[in-house]
Structure 1
């Protein structure tokens, strides 16, 4: 199973949701990362209702100290990360650095 983490998915209108859906259609298990836990749960449920594989995960991009916790959680639950989509470019380097041990490949948009 390929695993992708998509950040900034707080509503259906955000680009991250369309990206998450497309990755799901390509066979990825999509982790919906959002600072709004309720939104992540709702949007993950919507993807699952479409027959896609998705899991919500609380991820506050403004809390760089929490990046190592996210990396540990992804490792514990999935053991790998194949794709990382970060909607907010200000946090790319720090989040990628925290997740780099898990990444097989990071698509660059």
Structure 2
């Protein structure tokens, strides 16, 4: 049975991605900073008949928590087939370039960038043991430098200094990671789930978690001929999915 670790999976897009991959036959390690919340989420999926889901305490900003999760998952499996780096925070709005506190930048980057690096590095050895490992970094079209520089883009006037900057940094990490793993069986992509109605944006999003989960799961399930090192947003490009960085 294939295995996947999803960070921040106790609710929202992460939870729906867990549901969809469990339906595809994966054993899902449902990462949650709050273990009790993760256990409630796993139990909900169990009631839906998805037994291969278990909660793992995982605070991506804590080296101790990440290492403990690595030890626990390593006890259960010799290989991890996929990692979905989903955990993220916005830091609150508004985020004016001249008004946002440095502390807010530090807090958001700690989760959205440094947390991804920490988790990826901790689990890369288990991922290397899988025949076709996949890493999906949950990105955002709102962090596309090209689109945000285009006055004709529909979200051009929706500027924020902190959250998009963190996701742009995550995108750069994705490019570098895919390049380092270019001569292996890895597929590493940044996937935008779309403007989804979740707690992250006070449910202002226009898309559903079902749509978002489908978009992320697709790039966990991608085959040998699938893309790597790409920025995917099917909301903005439903034909090929690829959008500019």
TM over 0.5: yes
Deviates more, 1:88-97 or 1:30-39: 88-97
Aligned equivalent of 1:28: 26
Aligned equivalent of 1:10: 10
TM-score (norm: length of structure 2): 0.42
Larger Rg: 2
Distance in 2 of aligned mates of 1:65 and 1:56: 17
On the 8 A contact 1:6/1:33 being kept in 2, the answer is yes
Listed as ranges, the gaps of 5+ residues in structure 2 are 89-111, 137-190, 192-245
Cα deviations by residue, 1:45-103 (Å, 9 ceiling, x for unpaired): 11111121101110011102332221111110222211111113322222111001111
Greater share of residues in strand: 1
Cα deviations by residue, 1:15-55 (Å, 9 ceiling, x for unpaired): 10111011101100111110111110011111111121101
Aligned equivalent of 1:92: 116
Higher relative contact order (CA 8 A, sep 6+): 1
Aligned equivalent of 1:106: 134
Q: Which runs of 4+ in 1 moved over 6 A?
A: none
TM-score (norm: length of structure 1): 0.89
Equivalent residues, number: 107
On the 8 A contact 2:32/2:59 being kept in 1, the answer is yes
